[in-house]
Amino acid sequence: MKIRLNEDESIVKTVQEGLRKKNGYCPCMLEVNEDTKCMCLDFRNKIKDPNFEGYCHCLLYYKEK
């Protein structure tokens, strides 16, 4: 398993700017709580699935098999 940043630098820059503005909480989520702190609970759960390969909700991270 490998987790990497999106290859599109403009997406990475935009999402990281949003993370700074929201103090580390996912800029794509409306709620601000521990479940939406980057890496969000949704993506952490997807990481646990050995069959999952893909991006997190905001496209910042990609999990490879």
Q: Count, in order, helices (H) and strands (E) of the chain.
A: 2, 3
What are residue 64's DSSP bridge partners? 2
pLDDT tens digits along 7-65: 999 999 999 999 999 999 999 999 999 999 999 999 999 999 999 999 999 999 999 98
To the nearest whole percent, how much of the chain has pLDDT over 90? 95
User: How many CB atoms lie under 10 A from the CB of residue 40?
Assistant: 22
